[in-house]
Amino acid sequence: MSKFLPNKVYLRGILLHYSIQKKSAAEAHRILVQTYGDNALSDTTCRDWFRRFKNNDFQLEDKERSGAPTKFQDKELEQLLDEDPSQTLSELGKILQVDESTVSKRLKGLGMIQKQRHWVPYELKPRTTASTAEKKRFFASHRIVTGDEKWIHYPWLEASSLYLVGSAWCNLL
């Protein structure tokens, strides 16, 4: 087994080669599995590509797919989070004019999670770690100021055995 990891287009080129050699899709699939193991195309995919080659469609790249156009770019979302990372999903949805679930899916795709009401990357970026370290140094360099503490000592509470019941304790104080 080789260490080379083939991409889809490369494997499709091999399928085209076997198709020109008049091999069957099953035979081509068997050879791919022997050569590339788990990285080989599935049997159904091989059959689909052989069908395309038989119909004189030799384009190895993926065709463009139809679907709903994106309403906003990830860059717009990142820019909004850079301005104010504490915005909620509903606020981001209103600004971008999309549903909250759409924003949530995009944030998850960007690897962002919400911690302490701020959107942060799941894995910290170098600039984030640098600013965090800078904040820690800033706060560590300033002393914590506390007020004077006053300890009150009641010498009569040091009696060996003093049992007071009910309102007698209140009268003592």
CB 98 within 8 A of CB 73: no
Structural domain boundaries in the chain: 8-55, 74-110
Identical fold for domains 8-55 and 74-110, yes or no, is: yes
- Check residue 154 and give its pLDDT: 63
- Output the pTM of the full model: 0.42
- Nearest 10 degrees: Cα torsion 46, 52, 56, 58: -60
* CATH code of domain 74-110: 1.10.10.10
* CATH code of domain 8-55: 1.10.10.1450
Tokens representing residue 104 in the block = 């949530």
Q: Is the pLDDT of residue 81 over 80?
A: yes
CB 78 within 8 A of CB 103: no
Tokens representing residue 6 in the block = 């083939």
Q: How many CA atoms lie within 13 A of 97 on its CB side?
A: 4
